[in-house]
Amino acid sequence: AKCQCKVVPKQRTNCGYPGISAAECKKIGCCFNASVPSVPWCYNPKQKKVKKVCPNDPYTRINCGYPAITAKDCTRRGCCFRAHPAGVPWCFYHRTVEE
């Protein structure tokens, strides 16, 4: 994504080798910007920001517990707990979404 390449020039970390082409740089998953001298032109993108969310659709839940697990034991495992509806896991894994 373009926004991941918006890195302040002095904070760029080198991702290529001297003389790498823009095409080769992008092919290895890096950003290329040759507009600022004496900083890396081929550099690592910013990490994607992700957050954990509990999925809203009860039918997409992936079980993280066992029958009759308590909310406390479920959250201790780092999972979501919702004691409804019947017939789906009440203790289930987060999904990660990009911010």
Answer yes or no: do 40 and 76 share one domain: no
Domain total of the chain: 2
Under 8 Å between Cβ of 58 and 43: no
Where do the DSSP E strands lie in the chain? 31-32, 42-43, 50-53, 80-81, 91-92, 95-98
Question: What region, left, alpha or beta, does residue 78 occupy, with left being phi > 0 and alpha being psi -120 to 50 degrees?
Answer: left
Residue 98's pLDDT is 76
Please count the residues of the chain. Answer: 99
**Do 60 and 89 have their domain in common?**
yes
- What is the distance between the alpha carbons of residues 36 and 18, in angstroms, rounded to a whole number? 15
Give pLDDT, residue 50: 82
Residue 84 is part of which domain span?
A: 50-98
* pLDDT string in tens for the chain (99-residue length): 668 999 999 999 999 998 999 999 999 999 999 999 999 999 999 988 888 899 999 999 999 999 899 999 999 999 999 999 999 999 999 998 877
**56 and 41 within one domain:** no
At 30, which CATH number?
4.10.110.10
In a shared domain, residues 37 and 69: no
